[in-house]
Structure 1
Amino acid sequence: MLRQLTEWFDPQLLLTLAKQTGFARRTARKLTPLLFVQATILLVSQSAVSFRRWAALVGVLGDRCLSKQALWERISVRAVAFLQAVLALVLARRLPLPAAARPAALKSFRRILVQDSTTIPLAPKLAAAFPGARNQRGSHHGQLKIQALYDLLAQRFVSFSLSGFNRNDQAAAYDVVPVMRAGDLVLRDLGYFVIASLQQIAQAGAFFLSRLRLDTGLWDVRSGKPLNLLGHLQRHGQFDGEVLLGAAKFPVRLVAVKLPEAVAAERRRKARANRDRRCHPSARSLALLGWAIFVTNVPRNVWSPKTVAQVYGLRWRIETIFKAWKSHCRMTEVPQGSAPQLEAMIYARLIFVTILAPLCAVSPWREGKITAPPPLSLLKLTGLVADFFLILCLEASPRRISDTWLRQLNYHSRYELRSRKHFMETLMNLS
C-alpha cells in the first residue's frame, strides 16, 4: 500500500505542486511534500489525531525526527492549497477498469453523475470559517458541508468542494456544469431542484433525472394552460408525458409512478412531522405523495416509467459512500483547532476515499447476472482497509519499522521544557 501511495504521488511532481502553492519555498530537510501527503493520509487509521502523532508518523515513514511545533507551523492555508492540488491530481487520474457489459437502461450515457452532499458538525469556534445553522438563541454552530460528484459507471469521484452549511444544495446545483460533458446523465435529489440548472444541463447535450418539487408550476404542452396533475393522477393512476415546467416554461418529460400505500403513508407521516413551519404540507401536496414524480429529458423510447424509478434508485449509492466515510474513514473525527488544520485533514481523507474507490470497481454487470464470487461490499471493504491501512503501509516499508519507531518514542515521549516542574523534578527535589 505504501508502494502504491508512492507510485500515485511522484515526488518531483509533488514538489512542483508544493512550490506552486507556496507550501515548499526551499529544499525540505525533514518534511518533504511526499512525506507530508503520505502521513496525512495514513492518519485515517488513527482514532485520534494530534500534532505529536502526526509528526511521529512523518518520522516513522521518513526515518527522521520532526517536532510537533515544526509541523504545526506548516499547517496553514498553503498546506491546504497543496492538498487541494494533490486531490485534483488524484481525481484526474484514470484507472483501467474490468471490461463489463452495462445494463441496457444505461447504455445510452457516457457517465452517470450523482451529486449529493454530507455535513459534519464542528466546534463553535470554526463557525466564522464554516457557518452552520442558527440555534434557537440565534447563535451559529460550525458546520462543514462537503459537495461530491460521483460517476456511477466508472465508480470514481469527479469533484469535491467544501463550504459552510449556509451554502445550500440549490446554490451548488450549478457545480456540475463545468465538469459535465455531452451524453452524461445527472442524478440529484430534490435539494438540487433548480430549473435554470436543468436547462443548462440540457443545453450542454447532457441528460438529467430529478424528483419534482410539488409546488412547481406545470403547463400543458398543447394548450399552454395550467396542468392539474393531481386530477389526472386520480383519474388515470399514472402520468408519462411532456409538460412545461415553471415560469420559464421549460419542456420536460414528467413521469409519475403510483407508490404502494404503505410507502405513501410513511411519506405523509414524515411530511406532517416536519417541524419547519415553512414546510407545512398542503392537502394537495399530501395527496401527491402517493406517487413518485420525476422530471427528465431522457426520451420515452429509452426509458419506460418503471425504468425511470429504478434508475433514480441508483442515487442511493452515494448515500452508502457517505455512510462509509463517517463510519470508517473518521471523517467526523478530525482536529478542530483551526480552519487550516480541519481542511488539511478533510482533503487528506478525500484523497484516501478517492484512491480507495477503484478497489470496489469490479462490476457485477456480466450478461445481466451477478458474478461469482459476489462483488465487494463498499462498507465492509472501507472499514477493514481504514482500520489496517497504516499497518499494511508500514509492512511494505523497506526500513526496519521497529528501529524507526523506537527513535520516535525516544524523541516524542519526553517531558517538554516548561516553567512548571514535571513529576521527576518534583520527586528529585523532595527534601
Structure 2
Amino acid sequence: MKKSSRQISDKIRKLPIEGLTGFCKRASRKIGAYDFIQGFQFMLQNKQHSLSGWAIGISHCIGKSVSKQGLDKRLSSIDPDYFKELLNRVLRQNIKQLKSPTQTSALFKDFTEVLVEDSTCIKLPSNVFEEFPGPHNRFGRSATARIQLRMNLLKENYCSVELQSYRDNDQKHAGDIVKTLQAGQLVIRDLGYWGLDCFQAIADRKSFFLSRFKYGTHLRLVDHQEWMSITAFLKSQSKKGKQEIDCQVELGKSHSLKVRIVALKSPKKVIKQRKLKALKNRNKRANHDKAYFEFLNWTVLITNVGQDIWPQPKQLFEAYGFRWRIECVFKCWKSKLNLADFFKNHKHLNPNRVRISIYLILILISIFLLKWYLFFLKRAYEKNKKFISLFKFVDFTQYKMEQLLGKEKDLESLVDTVTYYCSYEVRKRKQYFEQLTFAT
C-alpha cells in the first residue's frame, strides 16, 4: 500500500490543490491538501464509506492519528467550490492531453466533436434537503443530488460535470452548452433538453443538433401556410404510402425553426412496450389522448444535418443510438463504483461533506480510471484487435489498483493482461460501442 500511496501522491501533486482548496502549508497542521485526497482514495479502495474510514486513510498517509471529529470540523470550514474548480481543471487538462482512442467512425467523420448530455441522481439523507431538494412526495422532505455530465463520444472524454439538486432538471441546463459550442460540433440530445430556442442557437453557431421530436410541437411543411400536429402530419404522409419520412419542416408557431424531420415506423414489439408504459403512467399531466397513442407507432427525429452528410434516414437513427454510451457510464458509476450507495447508510451528513465527497469521486475517476481506460482501449485494439469493456475494466481496476499505480509509467506491460481479462466476448450478432465508434 505504501507504493500505491506514493503513486497517488505523485499524481495529485501535479494539481494546484493548495491554492484551490484553501489549505495552508503550516507545520502545526496534521492534514495537508494532498493527504486529504489520498485519504479519500484509501477510504474508497477499502470500501469504508465513513468519516472513520476517511480519517484512517489520512492517518495511514501522514503517519499520525487523525480523529473523525477533527476531520468533520475541517470539512465544515472548506468551501466546496474549491473542489469544483479543481474538478474543472482536471477536466480541462484531460481535454488537452487525451486523444481519440482509435480511428473515428465514418458516421461522424464530418464533425469535429460529438457531444451528448445526460444526468443521473443520487439519493441523500433528508437533512441536506435545503441544499439538495428532492422530488415532492407524501412521505415528507427528501434530498437528491443530480450530476449533469457532458461527454465527447469520439474521445470518450468528459467535457463538463455539474453538481445540482434534483429540481434543477435537464430543461434548465439545456442552454448552457451553447456558451462553449464551436462550429462543426454535433450535439445529440434527448427530450429532457428539448428547446426550440436552444436548437436555433446551436444552428446559429454553425453547429449541428440531433434530437427526438417532442409530442405537442406544431409543424408545417416549408413553403406551406397550414400548421398541423405531428399526428396529422404522419397521417398525411402515411396516406401517400410512406413508411419512411424525410423532409424539411418548420417547428413552432412562434419560432418557425427550419429542420429536417425523419420518421420511421417502429417495430411492433417496441410499439407495444411504449403503449404499455403510457397506460401505466399515472401522472395527471400525462393524460394521453388517442392521437398520442397513434404517434407512438413512429420514431421521429429532427436535425439540421443535411442529406449531403447523412443521405440515408437510417444514419440518423444509428447516430442517435450512440446516446446510450453516457447511460452506460452512469450505470458503471452506480453499480461498479457504488456511487448510488455511497450515502445510503447515513441518516445525517454535513452538507459540505456531501459536495466535497462527490467532487472527489469525480476527480479521482477523471485522474485515474478515465486515463487508464482510454490508454488500454487504444492499445488493446492496436495490438490485439480487441475491444475493452468499460464494466470489466472497472472491476479489474478495483482488484488491481496497486498494480496499476505501480505501473503508472509502464502501462504498456499490462496491455496483454488487461486484454485477456477485460475484452468483450466474441458474439457474431452483437456489435459494441467501441467497435461501432472507433473501428468502422
TM-score by length of 1: 0.83
What is aligned with 1:103? Answer: 105
Identity of aligned residues (%): 30
C-alpha distance in 2 between matches for 1:12 and 1:97: 20
What is aligned with 1:149? Answer: 150
What is aligned with 1:412? Answer: none
Establish whether residue 287 from structure 1 lines up as the match of residue 313 from structure 2: no
2:19 paired residue among 16, 19, 28: 16
Confirm or deny: 8 A CA contact 1:103 1:365 kept in the other structure.
no
C-alpha distance in 1 between matches for 2:188 and 2:136: 30
Establish whether residue 264 from structure 1 lines up as the match of residue 271 from structure 2: yes
Secondary structure at the counterpart of residue 145 of structure 1? strand
What is aligned with 1:197? Answer: 198
Figure out how many residues of one structure are paired with residues of the other and give that number: 390
Establish whether residue 242 from structure 1 lines up as the match of residue 244 from structure 2: no
Secondary structure at the counterpart of residue 315 of structure 1? helix
TM-score by length of 2: 0.82
Establish whether residue 314 from structure 1 lines up as the match of residue 318 from structure 2: no
Instruction: Give a deviation string over 1:105-136, Cα, whole Å, max 9, x none.
Output: 10111111110000111222121110111113
What is aligned with 1:62? Answer: 62
C-alpha distance in 2 between matches for 1:174 and 1:98: 27
Alignment of 1:162-311 (within 5 A): 162-227=163-228, 228-235=232-239, 236-246=242-252, 247-303=254-310, 304-311=312-319
Confirm or deny: 8 A CA contact 2:42 2:54 kept in the other structure.
no
What is aligned with 1:381? Answer: 393
Secondary structure at the counterpart of residue 64 of structure 2? coil
C-alpha distance in 2 between matches for 1:340 and 1:322: 23
Unaligned runs of 5+ in 1: 398-431
Confirm or deny: 8 A CA contact 2:127 2:143 kept in the other structure.
yes
Q: 1:266 to 1:363 in 2, by over 3 A?
A: farther
Q: 1:202 to 1:136 in 2, by over 3 A?
A: same
Q: 1:239 to 1:182 in 2, by over 3 A?
A: same
C-alpha distance in 2 between matches for 1:46 and 1:233: 60
Unaligned runs of 5+ in 2: 409-440
Confirm or deny: 8 A CA contact 1:17 1:85 kept in the other structure.
yes
Instruction: Give a deviation string over 1:337-375, Cα, whole Å, max 9, x none.
Output: 121111111111111222312333269899xx9984421
C-alpha distance in 2 between matches for 1:54 and 1:396: 25
C-alpha distance in 1 between matches for 2:182 and 2:234: 35
CA RMSD of superposed structures (Å): 2.6
Establish whether residue 341 from structure 1 lines up as the match of residue 349 from structure 2: no
Q: 1:332 to 1:208 in 2, by over 3 A?
A: same
Q: 1:181 to 1:39 in 2, by over 3 A?
A: farther
Q: 1:24 to 1:182 in 2, by over 3 A?
A: farther
Alignment of 1:407-422 (within 5 A): none
C-alpha distance in 2 between matches for 1:353 and 1:242: 43
Q: Which runs of 4+ in 1 moved over 4 A?
A: 1-4, 25-28, 362-366, 391-397
Confirm or deny: 8 A CA contact 1:362 1:375 kept in the other structure.
no
